[in-house]
């Protein structure tokens, strides 16, 4: 029996208990909502903590050791939090989310389990982030027949498979999941994909896995976040970084490999990163990315749409150089480049979507401004071009000043 089994009972606090050698541990069933299970020690049972058809519960700071499963969330949606728990030596696995949506699993330590560290099966819109998942006999994170989940910021090391996408028989494939900013290190497989397509894998670090990535050819996924945001860092990538641009054909490095990282004929990371994520000096304004490639420090980065101006402060310990990649939809046309409010002539390279400005500077701290002729976002389908809630002469002028131009 379960030591604590609650049905149709909400707003409970189960804290600072020690449960030893029980068939079960703590269970919340049948609309047991808004409860807290916190700082309990649960040893040598079946499911240390189980939720079924319950919402808005917090499972926090518990220690589960030598159980069949650490935390099981079954048919329980809407903001159950599983955070800062330690789950060790579960014979089935650490955390399982089954047929459940919109839950959060974060900042847990899950290690030395015989099964998976975290498994999401037939669930959507769950967030799994900033967990430490190590030395599990099967998968660090298993995404099985689930969709639209976000998996990010996890440290996944020394498992059989770091991250797996799989389709369970008689269920849909795992699709439209986002996997990003994870460290996947020293696993037998870094990532393994079978019969699953339309997932997004980018800004992860794949380091020293025996097989970095495996995918069946019936799986087609996206392995980068487009240019210049880039893809993943693969420490066995052997390409060079001598070019820039969407086609990597313009002379100058951009911290992105010049050739794709090929997984198989259907899957490749088009823009493998030349250094591990996070990569410094990257900013996004109105969904457009600005990248500064320099060994100097950059601070106080700003963008003014009204002025058509990018500004920042650059701090150099020695004479140095910088390559600045700007989306043409953020700033375009003729550029006025200023250091300490003094105009300077700088080489500019052009691709179809981006501009690269190269400049040098001396030791010290410098204020830099780049003022474009146009701030030219893509014109939306509706006539309120500047999105101020009014259709007036301002919208007409915005279109008119670009009349006759062709979009690349």
Report pLDDT for 199.
98
Q: Model's pTM, two decimal places?
A: 0.89
The pLDDT of residue 397 is: 45
Given this model, what pLDDT does residue 6 score?
Answer: 85
Q: Can you give the pLDDT at residue 404?
A: 56
Q: Which of 135, 150, 236 is nearest to 187 (CA)?
A: 135
Left if phi > 0, otherwise alpha if psi is -120 to 50, otherwise beta: which for 11? left
Nearest by Cα to 199 from 220, 172, 227: 220
Assess contact for 15 and 41: CB atoms under 8 A.
no
Q: What is the pLDDT of residues 232-289, one digit of tens each?
A: 999 999 999 999 999 999 999 999 999 999 999 999 999 999 999 999 899 988 778 9
- Residue 382 has what pLDDT? 39
pLDDT for the residue numbered 384? 43
pLDDT recorded at residue 379:
34
Residue 391 phi/psi, 5-degree rounding, is: -105, 110
Phi, psi of 346 (to 5 degrees): -130, 145
pLDDT computed for residue 305 by the predictor: 83
Q: Which residues of the chain have pLDDT under 70?
A: 1-4, 23, 376-408
For 393, phi and psi rounded to 5 degrees? Answer: -65, -25
What is the structure's pLDDT at 258? 98
């Amino acid at each position: 029996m379960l030591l604590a089994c609650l049905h149709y009972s909400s707003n409970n606090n189960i804290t600072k208990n020690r449960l030893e050698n029980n068939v079960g541990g703590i269970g919340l069933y049948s609309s047991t909502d808004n409860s807290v299970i916190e700082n309990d020690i649960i040893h040598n049972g079946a499911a240390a903590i189980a939720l079924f058809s319950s919402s808005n519960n917090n499972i926090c700071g518990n220690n589960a050791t030598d159980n069949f499963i650490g935390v099981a969330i079954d048919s329980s949606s809407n903001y159950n939090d599983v955070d800062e728990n330690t789950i060790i030596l579960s014979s089935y696995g650490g955390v399982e989310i089954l047929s459940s949506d919109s839950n959060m699993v974060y900042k847990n330590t899950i290690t030395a389990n015989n099964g998976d560290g975290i498994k999401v099966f037939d669930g959507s819109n769950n967030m799994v982030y900033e967990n430490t998942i190590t030395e599990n006999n099967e998968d660090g994170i298993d995404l099985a027949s689930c969709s639209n989940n976000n998996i990010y910021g996890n440290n996944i090391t020394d498992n059989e498979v770091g991250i797996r996408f799989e389709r369970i028989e008689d269920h849909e494939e795992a699709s439209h999941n986002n996997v990003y900013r994870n460290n996947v290190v020293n696993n037998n497989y870094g990532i393994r994909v079978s019969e699953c397509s339309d997932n997004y894998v980018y800004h992860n670090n794949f380091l020293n896995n025996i097989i970095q990535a495996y995918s069946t050819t019936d799986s087609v996924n996206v392995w980068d976040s487009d240019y210049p945001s880039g893809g993943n860092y693969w420490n066995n990538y052997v390409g060079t970084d001598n070019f820039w641009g969407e086609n990597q054909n313009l002379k100058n490095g951009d911290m992105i490999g010049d050739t794709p990282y090929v997984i198989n004929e259907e899957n490749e990371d088009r823009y493998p990163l030349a250094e591990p994520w996070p990569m410094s000096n990257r900013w996004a304004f109105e969904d457009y990315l600005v990248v500064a490639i320099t060994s100097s420090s950059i601070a106080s980065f700003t963008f003014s749409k009204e002025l058509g101006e990018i500004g920042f402060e650059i701090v150099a310990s020695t004479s140095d150089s910088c390559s600045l990649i700007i989306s043409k939809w953020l700033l375009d046309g003729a550029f006025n480049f200023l250091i300490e409010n003094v105009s300077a002539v700088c080489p500019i390279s052009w691709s179809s979507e981006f501009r690269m400005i190269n400049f040098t500077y001396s030791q010290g701290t410098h204020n830099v401004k780049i003022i474009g002729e146009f701030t030219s976002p893509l014109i939306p389908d509706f006539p309120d071009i500047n999105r101020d809630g009014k259709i007036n002469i301002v919208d007409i002028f915005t279109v008119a000043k670009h009349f006759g131009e062709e979009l690349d």
